[in-house]
Amino acid sequence: MRIKAAFLLTLLVGATVAEAQLPGLRRRAPTPQQPVLSTIDAQRAEFAAQSGGTTVYFGSDSAIIGAPAKATLGAQAAWLRRHPEVAVRIEGYGDGLDTRDHALAVGARRAEEVRSYLVLLGVPGAQVSTTSWGKERPGLGRAVTILVR
């Protein structure tokens, strides 16, 4: 991230200086180099690949973690224990048919149950934070996504 920002800044300064020194002369901007795949993207890809997905699903109005979710979370916990330097945010979602505030609470409860389960499997609590989107983001009802950040 930081590398990318610095690169952009350099590019910008270079262009400004060039224009100021040579008014009326158009110089071609240097061809941007392929940016190095940032660490976070690589981590996200590896996390998703090795834990069988970043999303776990729940039953209607329920925060109970079922067997398929446990399998995914177990793999995630193993990966997170191997990568104590990586922090994840657990984002809970509610049902689109629910009322706004109840959906917010159910999403938060799902996220918290997932966090507790990961901690139970040995992931340090400081490595995982939670939030809830309730029903405010379309598409992902009754689910929790675990996001590397």
Partner 1 sequence: MTKLFVSLLMLGIGSAAAAQQPAATVIAIPPLSSPDSGNKGNEMLAIGWNVTQAIEADLRQTAEVTPLKPNRDDYYPYPEVTGPNFTKWRQAKAKTLITGFVQGRSDGRVTVGCYVYDVEKARELGRKGFIIGANDWRRAAHKCSGLAYTAITGAPGIFDTHIAYVAESGVGEARGRRIAVMDSDGQNHRYLTAGDAMVLTPRLAPKGDSLAYVSFAGGKPAVRVVDLNSGQERPLVPNDAISFAPRFSPDSSRIAFSMMLGANSDIYVVSANGGAPRRLTTSPGVDTDPSFSPDGTKIVFESDRGGSQQLYVMNADGSGQRRITFGGGWYASPSWSPDGQWIAFTRRGQDGRRIGIIGADGGGEKALTSGPGDEGPSWAASGRELLFQRSLGAGRATIYRVALDGSDPRELVTPQGGSDPDWSGVVE
Instruction: Candidates 10, 16, 50, 131: give the one binding partner 1 (CB under 8 A).
Output: 131
Strand spans (E) along the chain: 55-57, 88-93, 128-134, 143-148
Phi, psi of 44 (to 5 degrees): -60, -45
In sequence order, the 6+-apart residues with CB closer than 8 A to the CB of 45 are none
* Shortest Å, Cβ 34 to partner 1: 27
Compare residues 108 and 146 and give the one whose CB is closer to partner 1: 108
Contact 126/104 with Cβ under 8 angstroms? no
Name the token pair of 51. Answer: 């834990």
Q: CA gyration radius for the chain?
A: 21
The answer to the question of residue 98 lying near partner 1 (CB under 8 A) is: yes
Compare residues 41 and 136 and give the one whose CB is closer to partner 1: 136
Q: Between residue 30 and residue 49, which ones bind partner 1 under the rule CB under 8 A? A: none
* Shortest Å, Cβ 119 to partner 1: 11
Contact 77/121 with Cβ under 8 angstroms? yes
Compare residues 46 and 112 and give the one whose CB is closer to partner 1: 112
Q: Which residues bind partner 1 (CB under 8 A)?
A: 61, 63, 89, 97-102, 104-106, 108-109, 112-113, 116, 129-132, 134, 136-138
